[in-house]
Amino acid sequence: MSQHRKVLIAAPVHRILTDWLTANGYECMVQEQITQQQAFDRIRDCSGVITSTRLQLNRELIDNAPMLEWIGRMGSGMEVIDVQYAQAKGINCFSSPEGNANAVAEHALGMLLSLNKRIIKSNNEVKQGLWLRDENRGVELDGKSIGIIGFGHTGRAFAKKLMGFDVQIMVYDKYNQEDYPKYVSKASLEDIWQDADIISFHVPLQEDTYHYMDAAFIEKMRKPFVIVNTSRGIVIDTYALWDGLQKKKIRGACIDVWEEEPLSKMSEEMRALLDSIANRPEVVLTPHIAGYSYEAIYKMSKSLLSKIVIHG
Protein backbone atom coordinates (compact mmCIF):
# COMPACT_ATOMS: atom_id res chain seq x y z
CA MET A 1 0.00 0.00 0.00
CA SER A 2 1.44 3.36 -1.03
CA GLN A 3 2.08 6.07 1.51
CA HIS A 4 0.23 9.36 2.05
CA ARG A 5 -3.23 8.28 1.08
CA LYS A 6 -5.79 10.54 2.71
CA VAL A 7 -9.06 9.60 4.37
CA LEU A 8 -11.72 12.16 5.25
CA ILE A 9 -13.50 11.02 8.43
CA ALA A 10 -16.78 12.92 8.81
CA ALA A 11 -18.25 10.86 11.64
CA PRO A 12 -17.37 9.74 15.16
CA VAL A 13 -15.27 6.58 14.87
CA HIS A 14 -13.33 4.39 17.29
CA ARG A 15 -9.55 4.57 17.29
CA ILE A 16 -9.40 0.91 16.23
CA LEU A 17 -10.20 2.24 12.76
CA THR A 18 -8.00 5.35 12.71
CA ASP A 19 -5.05 3.49 14.27
CA TRP A 20 -5.15 0.84 11.54
CA LEU A 21 -5.51 3.42 8.78
CA THR A 22 -2.58 5.42 10.12
CA ALA A 23 -0.43 2.30 10.54
CA ASN A 24 -1.14 1.37 6.93
CA GLY A 25 -0.08 4.61 5.33
CA TYR A 26 -3.24 6.69 5.45
CA GLU A 27 -3.42 10.27 6.66
CA CYS A 28 -6.65 10.59 8.65
CA MET A 29 -8.41 13.96 8.45
CA VAL A 30 -10.93 13.71 11.29
CA GLN A 31 -13.55 16.43 10.75
CA GLU A 32 -16.78 15.31 12.40
CA GLN A 33 -18.51 18.68 11.93
CA ILE A 34 -17.53 19.24 8.31
CA THR A 35 -20.13 20.78 6.00
CA GLN A 36 -21.01 19.58 2.52
CA GLN A 37 -19.27 22.60 0.98
CA GLN A 38 -16.12 22.11 3.05
CA ALA A 39 -16.05 18.47 2.02
CA PHE A 40 -16.29 19.50 -1.63
CA ASP A 41 -13.03 21.40 -1.26
CA ARG A 42 -11.19 18.82 0.87
CA ILE A 43 -12.13 15.56 -0.81
CA ARG A 44 -10.13 16.13 -4.02
CA ASP A 45 -7.08 14.13 -2.97
CA CYS A 46 -8.79 11.59 -0.71
CA SER A 47 -8.60 7.85 -1.26
CA GLY A 48 -11.34 7.12 1.28
CA VAL A 49 -14.26 8.78 3.04
CA ILE A 50 -16.07 7.70 6.21
CA THR A 51 -19.41 9.32 6.92
CA SER A 52 -22.61 8.85 8.87
CA THR A 53 -25.46 11.17 7.93
CA ARG A 54 -23.45 14.38 7.71
CA LEU A 55 -22.31 14.17 4.10
CA GLN A 56 -24.23 13.35 0.96
CA LEU A 57 -21.86 11.39 -1.28
CA ASN A 58 -23.75 12.45 -4.39
CA ARG A 59 -22.50 12.67 -7.97
CA GLU A 60 -21.20 16.19 -7.48
CA LEU A 61 -19.08 15.28 -4.47
CA ILE A 62 -17.91 12.00 -6.01
CA ASP A 63 -16.90 13.76 -9.24
CA ASN A 64 -14.77 16.12 -7.19
CA ALA A 65 -12.81 13.17 -5.74
CA PRO A 66 -10.90 11.62 -8.66
CA MET A 67 -8.66 9.59 -6.31
CA LEU A 68 -11.51 8.10 -4.28
CA GLU A 69 -11.28 4.31 -3.88
CA TRP A 70 -13.82 3.57 -1.15
CA ILE A 71 -16.61 5.05 0.96
CA GLY A 72 -17.45 3.75 4.44
CA ARG A 73 -20.83 4.35 6.08
CA MET A 74 -21.02 4.30 9.88
CA GLY A 75 -24.42 2.64 10.18
CA SER A 76 -26.87 1.17 7.73
CA GLY A 77 -28.55 3.84 5.62
CA MET A 78 -26.93 3.94 2.21
CA GLU A 79 -29.29 6.66 0.99
CA VAL A 80 -26.54 9.18 1.79
CA ILE A 81 -24.38 7.64 -0.95
CA ASP A 82 -25.10 7.39 -4.67
CA VAL A 83 -23.95 3.78 -4.56
CA GLN A 84 -24.73 2.97 -8.19
CA TYR A 85 -22.76 5.96 -9.48
CA ALA A 86 -19.86 5.33 -7.11
CA GLN A 87 -19.60 1.67 -8.08
CA ALA A 88 -19.74 2.59 -11.78
CA LYS A 89 -16.60 4.63 -11.14
CA GLY A 90 -14.88 1.70 -9.40
CA ILE A 91 -15.44 3.00 -5.87
CA ASN A 92 -16.23 0.39 -3.22
CA CYS A 93 -19.08 1.27 -0.83
CA PHE A 94 -19.30 -0.27 2.64
CA SER A 95 -21.90 -0.02 5.38
CA SER A 96 -21.89 -1.40 8.91
CA PRO A 97 -25.50 -2.26 9.83
CA GLU A 98 -24.46 -5.14 12.05
CA GLY A 99 -22.49 -2.70 14.20
CA ASN A 100 -25.38 -0.73 15.69
CA ALA A 101 -28.27 -3.21 15.38
CA ASN A 102 -28.15 -4.15 19.07
CA ALA A 103 -28.02 -0.51 20.14
CA VAL A 104 -31.10 0.30 18.04
CA ALA A 105 -32.97 -2.73 19.38
CA GLU A 106 -32.24 -1.84 23.00
CA HIS A 107 -33.30 1.75 22.39
CA ALA A 108 -36.55 0.75 20.70
CA LEU A 109 -37.41 -1.55 23.60
CA GLY A 110 -36.42 1.08 26.16
CA MET A 111 -38.63 3.70 24.54
CA LEU A 112 -41.53 1.27 24.32
CA LEU A 113 -41.30 0.27 28.00
CA SER A 114 -40.86 3.90 29.06
CA LEU A 115 -44.01 4.84 27.17
CA ASN A 116 -46.16 1.91 28.28
CA LYS A 117 -45.15 2.20 31.94
CA ARG A 118 -45.36 6.04 31.95
CA ILE A 119 -41.78 6.22 33.22
CA ILE A 120 -40.70 9.50 31.63
CA LYS A 121 -44.00 11.27 32.31
CA SER A 122 -44.19 10.24 35.97
CA ASN A 123 -40.48 10.92 36.52
CA ASN A 124 -40.94 14.50 35.35
CA GLU A 125 -44.03 14.88 37.54
CA VAL A 126 -42.27 13.64 40.68
CA LYS A 127 -39.48 16.17 40.03
CA GLN A 128 -42.21 18.83 40.01
CA GLY A 129 -43.59 17.65 43.34
CA LEU A 130 -46.48 15.59 41.94
CA TRP A 131 -47.29 12.05 43.11
CA LEU A 132 -49.85 10.79 40.61
CA ARG A 133 -50.47 7.04 40.72
CA ASP A 134 -53.84 6.48 39.07
CA GLU A 135 -52.98 8.93 36.30
CA ASN A 136 -49.85 6.91 35.49
CA ARG A 137 -51.26 3.40 35.49
CA GLY A 138 -49.11 1.43 33.03
CA VAL A 139 -49.77 -1.03 30.24
CA GLU A 140 -47.89 -4.34 30.07
CA LEU A 141 -46.30 -5.84 26.97
CA ASP A 142 -47.48 -9.27 28.06
CA GLY A 143 -50.03 -10.68 25.64
CA LYS A 144 -49.61 -7.96 23.02
CA SER A 145 -49.08 -8.46 19.29
CA ILE A 146 -46.07 -6.61 17.89
CA GLY A 147 -45.64 -6.07 14.17
CA ILE A 148 -42.05 -5.62 12.96
CA ILE A 149 -41.86 -4.11 9.49
CA GLY A 150 -38.42 -4.73 8.00
CA PHE A 151 -36.42 -7.74 9.13
CA GLY A 152 -32.81 -6.91 8.47
CA HIS A 153 -30.15 -6.50 11.15
CA THR A 154 -32.12 -4.13 13.42
CA GLY A 155 -35.50 -5.81 12.96
CA ARG A 156 -33.99 -9.16 13.90
CA ALA A 157 -32.19 -7.66 16.88
CA PHE A 158 -35.43 -6.09 18.13
CA ALA A 159 -37.30 -9.38 17.75
CA LYS A 160 -34.59 -11.12 19.76
CA LYS A 161 -35.00 -8.61 22.60
CA LEU A 162 -38.74 -9.26 22.63
CA MET A 163 -38.20 -13.00 23.16
CA GLY A 164 -38.17 -12.43 26.91
CA PHE A 165 -41.73 -11.11 26.86
CA ASP A 166 -44.87 -13.13 26.32
CA VAL A 167 -45.76 -11.39 23.06
CA GLN A 168 -46.71 -12.43 19.55
CA ILE A 169 -44.03 -11.19 17.14
CA MET A 170 -45.31 -10.71 13.61
CA VAL A 171 -42.76 -9.94 10.90
CA TYR A 172 -43.26 -8.44 7.46
CA ASP A 173 -40.38 -7.85 5.06
CA LYS A 174 -41.10 -7.16 1.39
CA TYR A 175 -37.67 -8.35 0.27
CA ASN A 176 -36.65 -11.00 2.77
CA GLN A 177 -39.05 -13.92 3.10
CA GLU A 178 -36.56 -16.54 4.28
CA ASP A 179 -34.68 -17.64 7.38
CA TYR A 180 -37.09 -16.41 10.04
CA PRO A 181 -36.38 -17.62 13.59
CA LYS A 182 -38.95 -19.86 15.25
CA TYR A 183 -40.01 -17.23 17.78
CA VAL A 184 -41.51 -14.96 15.09
CA SER A 185 -44.37 -15.53 12.70
CA LYS A 186 -44.28 -14.43 9.07
CA ALA A 187 -47.08 -11.95 8.44
CA SER A 188 -48.61 -9.88 5.68
CA LEU A 189 -49.34 -6.19 6.07
CA GLU A 190 -53.00 -7.18 6.28
CA ASP A 191 -52.18 -9.40 9.28
CA ILE A 192 -50.42 -6.51 10.97
CA TRP A 193 -53.27 -4.08 10.25
CA GLN A 194 -55.70 -6.60 11.72
CA ASP A 195 -53.87 -7.77 14.85
CA ALA A 196 -50.98 -5.51 15.89
CA ASP A 197 -51.06 -3.53 19.13
CA ILE A 198 -47.58 -2.16 18.44
CA ILE A 199 -45.73 -1.55 15.17
CA SER A 200 -41.97 -1.00 14.91
CA PHE A 201 -40.31 0.15 11.68
CA HIS A 202 -36.86 -1.18 10.72
CA VAL A 203 -36.72 -0.31 7.02
CA PRO A 204 -34.18 1.56 4.88
CA LEU A 205 -35.08 4.86 3.24
CA GLN A 206 -35.97 4.21 -0.38
CA GLU A 207 -38.77 5.03 -2.78
CA ASP A 208 -41.21 2.43 -1.45
CA THR A 209 -40.66 3.33 2.22
CA TYR A 210 -41.26 7.09 1.85
CA HIS A 211 -44.25 7.92 4.11
CA TYR A 212 -44.78 4.20 4.64
CA MET A 213 -47.04 5.07 7.55
CA ASP A 214 -49.46 7.59 6.12
CA ALA A 215 -53.13 8.38 6.74
CA ALA A 216 -54.25 5.36 4.70
CA PHE A 217 -51.98 3.03 6.71
CA ILE A 218 -53.34 4.35 10.00
CA GLU A 219 -56.92 4.00 8.80
CA LYS A 220 -56.36 0.31 8.04
CA MET A 221 -55.34 -0.43 11.62
CA ARG A 222 -58.18 -2.22 13.39
CA LYS A 223 -57.04 -1.29 16.92
CA PRO A 224 -55.48 1.82 18.43
CA PHE A 225 -51.76 1.12 18.34
CA VAL A 226 -48.32 2.28 19.45
CA ILE A 227 -45.85 3.23 16.75
CA VAL A 228 -42.08 2.87 17.21
CA ASN A 229 -39.73 4.36 14.62
CA THR A 230 -35.95 4.07 14.89
CA SER A 231 -35.35 3.77 11.12
CA ARG A 232 -35.69 7.02 9.14
CA GLY A 233 -37.91 9.96 9.97
CA ILE A 234 -39.43 10.26 6.52
CA VAL A 235 -40.80 6.70 6.79
CA ILE A 236 -43.63 8.32 8.80
CA ASP A 237 -45.85 11.08 7.47
CA THR A 238 -45.63 13.47 10.42
CA TYR A 239 -48.97 15.11 9.66
CA ALA A 240 -50.62 11.69 9.62
CA LEU A 241 -48.92 10.91 12.95
CA TRP A 242 -50.26 14.13 14.46
CA ASP A 243 -53.76 13.45 13.15
CA GLY A 244 -53.66 9.84 14.39
CA LEU A 245 -52.65 10.96 17.87
CA GLN A 246 -55.42 13.56 18.01
CA LYS A 247 -58.04 11.04 16.88
CA LYS A 248 -56.61 8.41 19.27
CA LYS A 249 -56.10 5.97 16.42
CA ILE A 250 -52.46 6.06 17.60
CA ARG A 251 -52.31 5.19 21.31
CA GLY A 252 -48.69 6.24 21.67
CA ALA A 253 -45.54 7.02 19.71
CA CYS A 254 -41.84 6.31 20.30
CA ILE A 255 -39.92 8.35 17.75
CA ASP A 256 -36.12 8.58 17.46
CA VAL A 257 -36.01 10.06 13.95
CA TRP A 258 -37.79 12.99 12.31
CA GLU A 259 -38.74 13.98 8.78
CA GLU A 260 -36.50 17.02 8.98
CA GLU A 261 -33.50 16.93 11.28
CA PRO A 262 -31.64 18.24 13.16
CA LEU A 263 -33.55 21.17 14.65
CA SER A 264 -31.26 23.64 12.90
CA LYS A 265 -32.42 22.38 9.49
CA MET A 266 -36.11 22.17 10.36
CA SER A 267 -38.70 24.39 8.72
CA GLU A 268 -40.84 26.57 10.99
CA GLU A 269 -43.89 24.49 10.11
CA MET A 270 -42.20 21.19 10.97
CA ARG A 271 -40.72 22.65 14.16
CA ALA A 272 -44.19 23.75 15.28
CA LEU A 273 -45.47 20.25 14.55
CA LEU A 274 -42.59 18.72 16.52
CA ASP A 275 -43.35 20.95 19.50
CA SER A 276 -47.04 20.01 19.42
CA ILE A 277 -46.31 16.28 19.25
CA ALA A 278 -43.54 16.47 21.88
CA ASN A 279 -45.93 18.05 24.39
CA ARG A 280 -48.32 15.09 24.27
CA PRO A 281 -47.98 12.73 27.26
CA GLU A 282 -48.31 9.62 25.06
CA VAL A 283 -45.20 10.47 23.04
CA VAL A 284 -41.52 9.70 23.73
CA LEU A 285 -38.98 11.47 21.50
CA THR A 286 -35.20 11.16 21.25
CA PRO A 287 -32.76 13.00 18.91
CA HIS A 288 -31.66 10.20 16.54
CA ILE A 289 -29.54 8.44 19.14
CA ALA A 290 -30.84 4.86 18.94
CA GLY A 291 -27.78 3.49 17.17
CA TYR A 292 -25.32 5.91 18.74
CA SER A 293 -24.07 4.04 21.80
CA TYR A 294 -20.41 3.89 22.78
CA GLU A 295 -20.36 0.20 22.00
CA ALA A 296 -21.96 0.74 18.60
CA ILE A 297 -19.26 3.22 17.58
CA TYR A 298 -16.68 0.53 18.29
CA LYS A 299 -18.61 -2.24 16.56
CA MET A 300 -19.36 -0.14 13.47
CA SER A 301 -15.72 0.95 13.25
CA LYS A 302 -14.58 -2.67 13.54
CA SER A 303 -17.08 -3.75 10.88
CA LEU A 304 -15.93 -1.07 8.44
CA LEU A 305 -12.30 -1.91 9.14
CA SER A 306 -12.82 -5.55 8.25
CA LYS A 307 -14.37 -4.56 4.92
CA ILE A 308 -11.72 -1.98 4.10
CA VAL A 309 -8.96 -4.51 4.83
CA ILE A 310 -10.51 -7.04 2.45
CA HIS A 311 -11.87 -4.81 -0.30
CA GLY A 312 -10.52 -1.30 0.23
Catalytic residues: 232, 261, 288
Across the beta sheet with 225-229, what order do the strands follow?
185-186, 168-172, 145-149, 198-201, 225-229, 250-255, 283-285
CB neighbour burial string for 238-257, b if at least 16 within 10 angstroms, e if fewer = bebbbebbeeebbbbbbbbb
Which one, of 62, 97, 98, 100, lies nearest residue 78 by Cα?
Answer: 97
Is the bond preceding 262 in cis, omega lying within 30 degrees of 0? yes
Residue length of the chain:
312
Helix H, strand E, coil C: the string for the chain is CCCCEEEEEECCCCHHHHHHHHHCCEEEEECCCCCHHHHHHHCCCEEEEEECCCCCECHHHHHCCCCCCEEEECCCCHHHECHHHHHHCCCEEECCHHHHHHHHHHHHHHHHHHHHCCHHHHHHHHHCCCCCCHHHCCCCCCCCEEEEECCCHHHHHHHHHHCCCCCEEEEECCCCCCCCCCCCEECCHHHHHHHCCEEEECCCCCHHHCCCECHHHHHHCCCCEEEEECCCHHHECHHHHHHHHHCCCEEEEEECCCCCCCHHHCCHHHHHHHHHHHCCCCEEECCCCCCCCHHHHHHHHHHHHHHHHHHC
